Amino acid sequence: MLDLAYETPAPKVIAGAKQDWELVIGLEVHAQVASNAKLFSGASTTFGAEPNSNVAFVDAAMPGMLPVINEYCVEQAVRTGLGLKAEINLFSAFDRKNYFYPDLPQGYQISQLYHPIVGEGEVLVDMAPGVARRVRIERIHLEQDAGKSIHDMDPNMSFVDLNRTGVALMEIVSRPDIRGPEEAAAYVVKLRQILRYLGTCDGNMQNGNLRADVNVSICKPGDYERYQETGDHSVLGTRCEIKNMNSMRFIQQAIEYEARRQIRIVEGGETVDQETRLYDPDKGETRSMRSKEEAHDYRYFPCPDLLPLEIEQAWVDGIAASLPELPDAKKARFVQDFGMTEYDAGVLTADTESAAFFEDVARGRDGKQAANWVINELFGRLKKEDHGITESPMSAEQLGGILDLIAKGDISGKIAKDLFEIVYTEGGDPAEIVEARGMKQVTDTGAIEAAVDEIIAANPNQVAKAQQNPKLAGWFVGQVMKATGGKANPKAVNELVSAKLGL
Ligand code: ADP
Ligand code: MG
């Protein structure tokens, strides 16, 4: 596999009233496992179903019901671990995290505290071409999601929807290696991209299928490097955790606000309390949800209903062998094989559909030109209508057909753009359209020569001017192009105009 070289970005520095401060950030991302059935029941995970219609007896915690592990969810967690270059633990186990909440009928969440299924891995977070932060993953564990309490449907009552109860989540825990608000958002973007490539989570943040708890602390310049060298957490500041963030923009705003709040506290001679906070996007501030003193004692203990999860290396190897090409590798390959910039490769590999579309266009053609047309023309056009690549009315075959006509010299770049618009809006085979509408480029020098002669004869003043100032020859070229409806071969026109004007 290829790797692109990268430099590490500078950490964000915030100037306080007294000194400069740096940020230290670690994320706990909850990603809903892409699976038709829940983690311990056969109930459906379909989003937006009628409330309480996707609930098995075990999800509703009916007495005597026992959880049965969904092998596919385990496979998805292993696939995710492998995609994050992580260690896979052949032995893992489930624990009960006890707490009461109306949307949690069991009275506990089944999670993996002591023996997570996935150990240490990493994510390379792209900040700019050639600039990336390596963020270490501490662990990934499997756990159940809770249901949903609805408080805003009735002034006097709350409702509970258990459709989500028991759906499999992967909690992906990073080390505190993220050094600024933009990096935090970029980390979530990259993680989501990898999960989507792997097909292990759809990454839909609006539906709550991907959400992050964001841990933020501040430190003095140099402290973080000391932590990196020694692994000693105590040189870092006290962190606050901002719960349940499901927007890249809010993640950045919340971190920025939270860092400034902590700086004010520390510079004022007080200490930051370790607590859980909520971000209020309307006010643009975080506020305390619960402090460490009020923190729950979850009384974790091994779940007696489930045997430890033991998987075989051969099974893991089979999953590893079926992994798709992942974003970093694909990007590096695009740079290497097609000679495109890392920026363009990043755009084309943002999702697998765009990458596959591009590769279909580029196959057997000039890769750089294909990249240009896909990014500048097609993506630009799609964006106008707020469409993604999967909604493109133009197929890779059609776009490739346009490029073939340019390569053969049948149409000029300018006509190609007109043709692009026709194919995009009306559909059809590019070569047939060019034929039917007489859009073929005129390469017949005789016809071009006649047009040049005619324009030179009709404009003696311009001829005199151009002979003094050869730059004005462009005017003749423009006239000839106009006279031929843009179909004259521009190179031939240029040559003929220069020759006839004696330049
Ligand atoms: P706990 O054991 O209390 O759950 P962890 O060490 O597991 O704490 O950390 C939970 C999350 O907090 C991780 O994502 C980690 O990266 C992050 N974190 C830990 N220490 C800090 C810190 N000083 N500043 C910011 N984030 C931190
Ligand atoms: Mg922890």
- pLDDT, one tens digit per residue, over 431-454 is 999 999 988 877 777 888 888 899
Sequence length of the chain is 503
Atom of ligand 1 nearest to the CA of 238: 23
Closest ligand to C-alpha of residue 27 is 1
Strands (E), 193-284: 210-219, 240-245, 275-280
Burial environment of residue 385 by CB neighbours within 10 A (0 to 12, 13 to 18, 19 or more)? exposed
Q: Residue 293: what pLDDT? A: 64
From 136, 239, 266, give the residue whose CB has the most ligand 1 atoms within 8 Å, as the site to mutate. 239
Q: What is the pLDDT of residues 363-383, one digit of tens each?
A: 999 999 999 999 999 999 999
Distance CA 417, CA 421 (A): 6
Terminal Cα distance for the chain, rounded: 54
Per-residue pLDDT at 360: 98
pTM: 0.90
Count of CA atoms in the C-beta half-sphere (13 A) of 208: 14
CA distance linking residue 175 with residue 133, whole number of Å: 12
Tell me, in angstroms, the distance from the centre of ligand 1 to residue 113's CA: 14
Q: CA 137, CA 121: separation in Å to the nearest integer? A: 5
| Distance in Å, CA 173 to ligand 1 centroid | 9
Ligand 1 atom with least separation from CA of 217 = 24
Query: In angstroms, what CA-CA distances link 384 with 376, 377, 379, 420?
Result: 12, 11, 9, 15
Give the position, in ligand 1's atom list, of the atom nearest the Cα of 175: 16
Nearest Cα to Cα of residue 453 among 493, 490, 409, 396: 493
| Ligand approaching nearest to the C-alpha of 24 | 1
Tell me the sheet residues that pair with 488: 442
CA of 200 to the centre of ligand 1 (A): 25
In whole angstroms, what is the distance from residue 270 CA to residue 361 CA?
A: 61
For residues 140 and 174, give the distance between their C-alpha atoms in angstroms, rounded to a whole number. Answer: 9
pLDDT of residue 22: 98
Closest ligand 1 atom, CA of 176?
16
Distance from Cα 174 to the centre of ligand 2, integer Å: 10
What is the structure's pLDDT at 441? 78
* pLDDT given for residue 2 in this prediction: 60
Q: Cβ-count burial of 50 within 10 angstroms (0-12 exposed, 13-18 middle, 19+ buried)?
A: exposed
Q: Which residue stretches of the chain have pLDDT < 50?
A: none
- What residue type is 390 in one-letter code? T
CA distance 201 to 374: 27
Query: Distances in Å between the alpha carbon of 257 and those of 2, 199, 267, 277?
Result: 39, 34, 15, 12
Phi first, then psi: give them for residue 178, nearest 5 degrees: -95, 135
| Ligand 1 residue neighbourhood (C-beta within 6 Å) | 24-28, 173-176, 215-217, 233, 236-237, 239
SS3 284: coil
Distance 321 CA to ligand 2 centre (A): 31
Structure confidence at residue 295 (pLDDT): 66
Ligand 2 center–CA 173 separation, angstroms = 8
What letter would DSSP give residue 44? B
| Rg (alpha carbons) of the chain, rounded to whole number | 30
Report the separation in Å between the CA atom of 224 and the middle of ligand 1, taken as the mean of its atom positions.
14
**Closest Cα to atom 24 of ligand 1:** 217
C-alpha 171 to ligand 2 mean position (Å): 10
**Best of 23, 173, 276 for a ligand 1 pocket test (most atoms within 8 Å of beta carbon):** 173
> From atom 20 of ligand 1, which residue's Cα is the shortest distance away?
176
Q: Which ligand does the CA of 219 lie closest to? A: 1
pLDDT (tens digit per residue) in 206-245: 999 999 999 999 999 999 999 999 999 899 999 999 999 9
Q: Six-digit token pair at 382?
A: 């799609």
Distance 26 CA to ligand 1 centre (A): 6
CA of 327 to the centre of ligand 1 (A): 27
**Ligand with smallest separation from the Cα of 237:** 1
User: What 3-state DSSP class applies to 136?
Assistant: strand
For the CA of 173, the nearest atom of ligand 1: 14
